[in-house]
Amino acid sequence: MNVLLALCVVFIGLPGMLILAMHLLRRQHAIRHQVEAAFKWFLVGCACLAIFTTAGIVLSVLFEAIRFFNIVPLTEFLFGLEWSPQTAIREDQVGSSGAFGAVPLFAGTLLITAIAMFIAVPCGLLSAIYLSEYASHRVRAVGKPMLEMLAGIPTVVYGFFAALTVAPLVRDGAAFIGLEAASESALAAGLVMGIMILPFVSSLSDDVMNAVPQSLRDGSLGLGATRSETIKRVVLPAALPGIVGSVLLAASRAIGETMIVVMAAGLAAHLTANPLQSVTTVTVQIVTLLVGDQAFDSPKTLAAFALGLVLFGVTLGLNIIALHVARKYKEQYE
């Protein structure tokens, strides 16, 4: 009897327990599977947030800009030479508050960006050359972080410095050689912005020059070229796509830079190429139009979004070109 019971347990109980165990295991496995699937969907959702952000930017800026273009025609915005959103000239005028021709803003942005690039490109490139080709290990260990500190300083600090220290210097300097400079000259803002974006040029160019294989340099030096000749004729051409990419990224930075120009460039929209005059930029106007209590659907507020759309489009275009150029270069040596 006992033996029978034991046999029963062995032949029925054990397989039963086995089945139960496997069932439990499968269930646990299923739960684990479900948890993992849910976890992965959470990860996917987080990765898609970047897409949502971009979509949010494009849609919000686009919709508000379209509302703006319903009030002010697109052609007037893109080709108009007069920008004075603050002053209502006539009650029955379009949008009843001023003119929205953005050409002076585009010109001002280009002028300040050009000045900044005029500083940043040669200085950044030469610094990168020095750091990657000439500097000893010790100098490089000190110099590179110092230059990168320039990129870490908040732009509001640069703005204050440009407005309070550099702008008076520019004005006095211009007066010294008999020229008249506005107290908020494009030159002061551009100079300081040039210093700000210098590390963007130097750091990226340094990286691409370091990626140029040493064998190319050795070949050139072995043929009797001096170091500078090697750099100019071999290293720079080899690194050119990456350098162009870094310059484009720096230009996009300069165009989108806000605080330096808000604090050091002017508010009045002059259409001029004279760097000693005060000009205004797209970003300055976005900030000026938005700061202060505004009805959300006034053409003034909407104009900020139209300017934002232009800014987003231009910087995005520059970034895409820069990344494309840099990526193409990468394929060459890896």
Partner 1 sequence: MSGLRAPSAARAGADAVKANRSSPESLIRKSLRARYRRERRFYQTGVAAIAMGVLFLLWLLGVSAHQASSAFFQTYIALDIQLDATQFASLPLAADERRQAIADANYNKMIKASLRATFPAASSRQDKRRLYQLVSDSAEYMLRDAVLRNPDLLKPPSVQAPRRFWVLADDEVDMFMKGYIDRAQPEANRRLSDQSIAWIEHLRAQQRIEKRFNRPFFTAGDSRDAEQSGILAATLGSFFTLAVTMLLALPVGIAAAVYLQEFAPKNKLVDVVEVNINNLAAVPSIIFGLLGLAVLINFFGLPRSVPLVGGIVLALMTLPTIIISSRAALAAVPPRIRQAALGVGASGVQTVVHHVLPLALPGILTGAIIGLARALGETAPLLAIGMVAFIVDVPSAPTDPATALPVQIYLWADSPERAFVERTSAAILVLLALLAVINGLVAVFRNKMETRW
Helix (H) or strand (E) holding 100: strand 99-100
Closer CB to partner 1, 53 or 70, in the complex: 53
Closer CB to partner 1, 165 or 332, in the complex: 165
Closer CB to partner 1, 14 or 232, in the complex: 232
Q: How far is the CB of 9 from partner 1 (least distance, A)?
A: 31
Range 296-332 burial, b when 16+ CB lie within 10 A, else e: eeebbbbbbbbbbbbbbebbeebbeebeebbeebeee
Q: How far is the CB of 13 from partner 1 (least distance, A)?
A: 28
Closer CB to partner 1, 103 or 314, in the complex: 314
Q: What is the Cα 39 distance to its own chain's centre?
A: 32
Closer CB to partner 1, 241 or 274, in the complex: 241
Q: How far is the CB of 298 from partner 1 (least distance, A)?
A: 13
The contacts of residue 80 (CB under 8 Å, 6+ apart) are 99, 100, 101, 102, 103
C-alpha closest to that of 240 among 117, 115, 135, 125: 125
The token pair at 147 is 């230059």
Closer CB to partner 1, 109 or 185, in the complex: 109
* Number of Cα atoms under 13 Å in the Cβ half of residue 241: 15
141: helix, coil or strand? helix
Q: How far is the CB of 329 from partner 1 (least distance, A)?
A: 15
Q: How far is the CB of 272 from partner 1 (least distance, A)?
A: 24
Spatial distance between the Cα atoms of 307 and 61, rounded to a whole number of angstroms: 9
Spatial distance between the Cα atoms of 58 and 257, rounded to a whole number of angstroms: 19
Q: What's the angle, vertex CA 147, arms to CA 141 and CA 148, rounded to 5?
A: 90
C-alpha closest to that of 129 among 213, 241, 207: 207
Closer CB to partner 1, 245 or 275, in the complex: 245
Q: How far is the CB of 316 from partner 1 (least distance, A)?
A: 6
Q: How far is the CB of 222 from partner 1 (least distance, A)?
A: 16
Which residue type sits at 106? F
